[in-house]
């Protein structure tokens, strides 16, 4: 039997409908819609993610202002970020990756104030997230979007989570590590695996929820998946011109529920960036 597909587009449109109601309430209080600024390189590298964010903002009633940066001095980029940080008409902003030449992740983290951090990628946002013990606390924060998306998909899968085993493959600051923390707020017992993990296959076979965030196509073989497991595949890899995740194509035969690639984690991640923007705008109205 093949796994049930957990369609991220369906969950994303449900989240964006909720976002729309909250955005209208913010608009009534602020006298304008919540507003997100996105800073992206002028070349095509950020293209499809940028378009998806603009569409999702439109669906939720969030204004979006896009700044396309031509290659230029680092100081110019940092100057723009400082302007956005000080601009009272901007509720949140995003510096798209890949960052403009000369700008590092730590530059970005220093330039984005935590109260305008739509992607939850600054030290302040991480600090707040790791202080949250329960899902109720964590889900009220502007946390890293892909990690939030993975936790929301785990909930949407409908399988019991409390006390069950989760294995997260990948320990990056933006995806695997915060996803592991968020699953622990859902009372799962979590193991965070990475490239030095021994016996990864055996570990994966114990997982009731298996999160893939390695960026390694086909890493997780069919026989590594516990029968009936929830398989959340954040991997985005291009293989012979096609987008694929980290799970081998046959994994659907053993999983109970599986996110497709594309159309699984990606759309929910985008919706989470929009929800984060609204959350930050709501805080400004208090």
Give the footprint of ligand NAP on this chain (CB under 6 A): 146, 169-172, 174-176, 193-197, 200, 213-216, 219, 234-237, 265-266, 269
Least Å from the CB of residue 211 to ligand NAP: 10
Least spacing, CB of residue 136 vs ligand NAP, in Å: 24
Smaller CB separation from ligand NAP, 26 or 273:
273
Q: How far is the CB of 120 from ligand NAP (least distance, A)?
A: 12
Cβ closest to ligand NAP, residue 97 vs residue 189? 97
Choose between 212 and 255: whose C-beta lies nearer to ligand NAP: 212
Smallest distance from ligand NAP to CB 56, Å: 12
Residue 120 CB neighbours (<10 A) = 26
**Residue 229 neighbours by CB under 8 Å, 6+ apart:** 207, 208, 209, 210, 254, 255, 256, 257
Q: 98: cis peptide before it, omega within 30°?
A: yes
Closest to ligand NAP by CB, 176 vs 256, is 176
Q: How far is the CB of 232 from ligand NAP (least distance, A)?
A: 10
The residue (of 90 and 142) whose beta carbon lies closer to ligand NAP is 142
- Looking at the Cβ atoms of 170 and 260, the one nearer to ligand NAP is 170
Contact 253, 227 (CB under 8 A): no
Q: How far apart are CB 8 and ligand NAP at their closest, in Å?
A: 8
Q: Could you say which DSSP state residue 232 is in?
A: E
> Residue 145 or residue 280: which is nearer to ligand NAP going by CB?
145
Q: How far is the CB of 177 from ligand NAP (least distance, A)?
A: 8
Q: How far is CA 198 from CA 50, 202, 204, 211, in A?
A: 38, 9, 11, 17
Q: How many whole angstroms separate alpha carbon 48 and alpha carbon 254? A: 32
Using the minimum distance from each CB to ligand NAP, give the nearer residue, 31 or 241: 241
What are the distances in angstroms from CA 217 to CA 227, 231, 261? 21, 15, 11
Residue 150: Cβ within 10 Å count? 32
* Distance in Å, CB of 246 to ligand NAP, minimum: 7
For helices 145-156 and 8-30, give the axis angle rounded to 10 degrees. Answer: 120
| Residue the block writes with tokens 């100081």 | 75
| Strands 242-244, 237-239: pairing kind | antiparallel
Residues in Cβ contact with 62 at an 8 Å cutoff, skipping those fewer than 6 apart: 19, 23, 33, 34, 35, 36, 274, 277, 278
Taking the C-alpha atoms of residue 237 and residue 217, their distance in angstroms, rounded to an integer, is 6
């Amino acid at each position: 039997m093949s796994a049930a597909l957990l369609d991220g587009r369906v969950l994303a449109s449900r989240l964006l409908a909720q976002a729309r109601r909250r955005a209208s309430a913010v608009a009534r209080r602020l006298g304008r819609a919540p507003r997100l600024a996105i800073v992206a390189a002028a070349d095509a590298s950020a293209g499809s993610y940028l378009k998806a964010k603009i569409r999702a903002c439109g669906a939720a009633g969030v204004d979006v202002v896009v700044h396309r940066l031509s290659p230029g001095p680092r100081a110019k980029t940092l100057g723009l970020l400082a302007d956005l940080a000080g601009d009272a008409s901007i509720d949140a902003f995003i510096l798209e990756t890949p960052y403009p030449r000369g700008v590092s992740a730590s530059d970005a983290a220093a330039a984005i104030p935590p109260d305008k951090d739509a992607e939850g990628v600054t030290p302040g946002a991480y600090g707040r997230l790791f202080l949250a013990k329960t899902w109720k606390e964590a889900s009220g924060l502007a946390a890293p979007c892909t990690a939030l998306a993975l936790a929301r998909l785990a909930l949407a899968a409908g399988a019991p989570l409390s006390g069950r085993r989760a294995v997260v493959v990948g320990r990056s600051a933006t995806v695997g590590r915060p996803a592991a923390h968020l699953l622990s707020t859902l009372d799962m017992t979590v193991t965070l695996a990475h490239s030095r993990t021994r016996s990864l296959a055996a570990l994966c076979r114990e997982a009731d929820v298996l999160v893939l965030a390695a960026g390694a196509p086909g890493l997780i073989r069919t026989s590594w998946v516990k029968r009936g497991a929830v398989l959340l595949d954040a991997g985005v890899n291009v293989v012979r011109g096609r987008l694929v995740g980290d799970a081998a194509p046959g994994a659907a035969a053993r999983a109970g529920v599986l996110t497709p690639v594309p159309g699984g984690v990606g759309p929910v991640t985008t919706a989470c960036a929009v929800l984060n923007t609204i959350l930050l705008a709501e805080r400004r109205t208090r």
